[in-house]
Amino acid sequence: MIITLQEELPFIAGILAGTDEAGRGPLAGNVVAAAVILNPEMPIDGLDDSKKLTEKKRSFLAQEIKQHALSWSVISISPQKIDDMNILQASLYAMRTAAENLDVTPGHIFVDGNKTLPNCFCSNTAVIKGDSRVAEISAASILAKVERDSQMLELHKQYPEYGFDKHKGYPTKIHREVLYSIGPCPEHRRSYSPVREAILMMEAR
């Protein structure tokens, strides 16, 4: 059940934000993070973990969030930066940057997962499975997922041979087969083992 942060943690005062990311597992494309401060006077029905929602429902809720939230922000981190930082650090950096870019400054941030944000400008708490427990994190997960899916559809136009419109860069059987057949494109993450294997296979031919 999704509840507001104020209901779950009434001892935390001030403006509260939630943040989440999408795209840690894929072999290609950006990792995208979002941060959201909801408006308690304009609640949004239907918020949930973005992975549990249909594409149509996510798109609808994303528009509702952008229209009614007190503040929202979305940040993308490139595959090259992911390779430089590693995916965990890149995800934490993206979530912190999304929170920093909010138009309204929160007093506390709730972060999906089991890691807090390092060097953050305000206090923050990790919430395991927060995207299905906390409305603000759920809203952030929806914005991040919708944005990343949109980006992968654009990448599909540039690199249709990889089928990014179907698997969104995740390591499906079809994606790996194409990767091992023709090698990676510039949007693949070289630090991920299937991509490294594909590069070695191409070099050995």
- Given a cut of 80, whether residue 21 has pLDDT beyond it is yes
- Residue 16 lies in domain: 5-157
**Sheet containing strand 123-127, strands side by side:** 71-77, 31-37, 16-22, 108-112, 123-127
Q: What is the pTM of this model?
A: 0.92
Question: If we measure between CA atoms, which residue out of 93, 119, 96 comes closest to residue 106?
Answer: 96
Same domain, 62 and 120: yes
User: Which amino acid does the sequence have at 64?
Assistant: E
Instruction: Look up residue 194 and give its two tokens.
Output: 């299937």
Same domain, 176 and 109: no
Looking up tokens 């249709």 gives 160
Same domain, 92 and 148: yes
- Given a cut of 50, whether residue 1 has pLDDT beyond it is no
CATH number at residue 80: 3.30.420.10
Cα 101 from Cα 72, distance rounded (Å)? 8
Phi first, then psi: give them for residue 134, nearest 5 degrees: -125, 125
Same domain, 20 and 99: yes
| pLDDT tens-place string over residues 140-182 | 999 999 999 999 999 999 999 999 999 999 999 999 999 999 9
Same domain, 140 and 46: yes
Instruction: Determine the pLDDT at residue 50.
Output: 87
Least confident residue range of 13-17, 68-72, 85-89, 112-116? 13-17
- Given a cut of 80, whether residue 2 has pLDDT beyond it is no
Please, which residues have CB within 8 angstroms of residue 188's CB and are 6 or more apart in sequence?
A: 27, 28, 79, 179, 195, 198
Same domain, 17 and 96: yes
- Given a cut of 90, whether residue 36 has pLDDT beyond it is yes
Strand 71-77 with 108-112, pairing? unpaired
Cα 175 from Cα 53, distance rounded (Å)? 24
Number of structural domains (the chain) is 2
Same domain, 198 and 149: no
Same domain, 91 and 192: no
Instruction: Determine the pLDDT at residue 12.
Output: 56
